[in-house]
A and B are shown apart, each in its own frame.
Chain A
């Protein structure tokens, strides 16, 4: 199974297994990663599953749709060029080994 590494704001790394078709947000929650809150449950309504995906890992990551783009203007920690909502990125073979940096706050 493809692997994902979530990195807490303090640098702690959590390497977990993902399943294709499941969002990074869901993978984080099912592994009890605290840095993702996902209040709305993946409806792209709350911006509490904010994460950063640096350039090294963006190959294979789907492009952003407009609602995600708008929602990212509402994150607790300021948006960066690498900002994404983890509910909008589904795991796939191409993403094996992806590193997902988590912000210090989600709300």
Chain B
């Protein structure tokens, strides 16, 4: 716990390493908790914090312009007494001296919040790289605004687009490219799209929908080799078939940025290990957002890592509470969304344990939800163009109220009537 609200506070700041959703929400939550300590945000990025979700969707399509990406105006940080240092790489954390070091400076913290996020998993294919380890021209990852700007610009000239990975990012991007009348092929080694995230029914619906929009989807297939001297020109599939390609986007998941914390002796696993208060193994150091490996109280305190706006926001509140001396555990139903073309996919809860999938029909074939049960207890719900089902699912799971599979399957049954 650090200095309380009253009067002006000098002294050491709360330091946040990272400049994404979690970092901004932490600033907001600390000030809402009346923590008056200065805040120092150290971000590797060249821009003030911005919204990431549009980067694979509306920013690429031109619907959201650059100006609208900013999470807050620059004046916000001044107003909230947050010093933001951009283009700043933290090289080490000393948890004994309570300092963080950059190449040119050392800062002492009152409390440290690690919100280093994640980075795209690199493509494990030698032919994707030129001699110095850089990606071949025309081959792109998609995580930050610079990636997205590069892809947006490449899309203007591109004709034949290849996507490696049929996850959210890959399919969102494929939908944008296809709407721009590009010839789009998506590869995934799994036997269905979004296999790690959604139920088979949802995978199948999106696969058919994307195919109907002229996106070629090649499941159980991968890119074996990328051809091009200075710029990608073709790819060779596992089958040996060659495809023309002038823009290749890779979306095969992310790796949590744990190295800095690990080097400081903080426990790491599939992310920086934290307890239900977002506290790491070291006193006065918290980890929040995509980089944190944390227990979820709705799922038997199973340790998970989530890449979502919801998790970044809710964990920021938990860490801010601890710093303010108002310690409350993380207790949140995970939720996610993915906009693919005209269609909205919304997910509530975690589905790994599901042993039964029940479809709840909507007004048309394009509106439905799949309810996931484990031993007849509701675990999670995937909704297609059905915001009502999604919001109800969030409430049902939060209240730990489960419809029966029969009730879920009956569109006439009013799920709201189950809520207290």
Contacts and interface: CB of A to CB of B under 8 A. Distances in A.
Interface of A: 26, 29-30, 32, 37, 39-46, 66-67, 70-71, 73-74, 107
B309 A39 contact: yes
A29 B344 CA distance: 25
Contacts of B54: 41
Given A41-B53, A43-B337, A67-B387, A74 B395 contact: yes
Interface of B: 25, 28, 51, 53-54, 68, 71-73, 75-76, 79, 309-310, 313, 317, 337, 339, 344, 346, 387-388, 390-391, 394-395
Q: Determine which residue in A26, A45, A71 has the highest number of CB atoms from chain B within 10 A of its CB, and name it.
A: A45
16 contacts: A37-B28, A43-B339, A44-B387, A45-B309, A45-B346, A46-B309, A46-B310, A66-B388, A67-B344, A67-B387, A70-B388, A70-B390, A70-B391, A73-B391, A107-B313, A107-B317
Contacts of B53: 40-41, 43
Nearest to A22: B68
Contacts of A43: 53, 337, 339
A70 B310 CA distance: 18
Contacts of B337: 40, 43, 45
A11 B308 CA distance: 34
Contacts of A39: 25, 309-310, 313
B76 A32 contact: yes
Given A66-B388, A67-B387, A40 B309 contact: yes
Given A39-B309, A39-B313, A45-B337, A70 B387 contact: yes
A22 to B, nearest CB: 8
A51 B395 CA distance: 21
A73 B75 CA distance: 33
A32 B80 CA distance: 10
Given A45-B337, A46-B309, A71-B387, 7 more contacts: A29-B76, A30-B73, A32-B72, A32-B75, A39-B313, A45-B346, A71-B391
The 9 closest A-B pairs by CB, nearest first: A41-B51, A67-B387, A70-B387, A70-B388, A39-B313, A30-B73, A70-B391, A74-B391, A32-B79
Given A32-B76, A32-B79, A41 B391 contact: no
Chief secondary structure at chain A's binding surface: loop
A32 B73 contact: yes
Contacts of A42: 68
B393 to A, nearest CB: 11
B145 to A, nearest CB: 13
B73 A41 contact: no
A45 B347 CA distance: 11
Nearest to A44: B387
A48 B72 CA distance: 15
Contacts of B71: 41
Contacts of A45: 309, 337, 346
A74 B333 CA distance: 13
Q: Determine which residue in B72, B76, B387, B394 has the highest number of CB atoms from chain A within 10 A of its CB, and name it.
A: B387
Nearest to B25: A39
Contact of B72 (A29, A44, A46): A29
A45 B54 CA distance: 13
A66 B387 contact: yes
Contacts of A73: 391
Contacts of B72: 29, 32
Contacts of B75: 32
A44 B309 CA distance: 13
Contacts of B339: 43
A53 B258 CA distance: 46
Nearest to A74: B391
Nearest to A26: B68
A51 B317 CA distance: 22
A70 B387 CA distance: 6
A71 to B, nearest CB: 6
A74 B394 contact: yes
Nearest to B314: A107
Contacts of B317: 107
A14 to B, nearest CB: 13
A15 B106 CA distance: 42
A74 B389 CA distance: 12
A30 B391 CA distance: 28
Contacts of B394: 74
Contacts of A30: 73
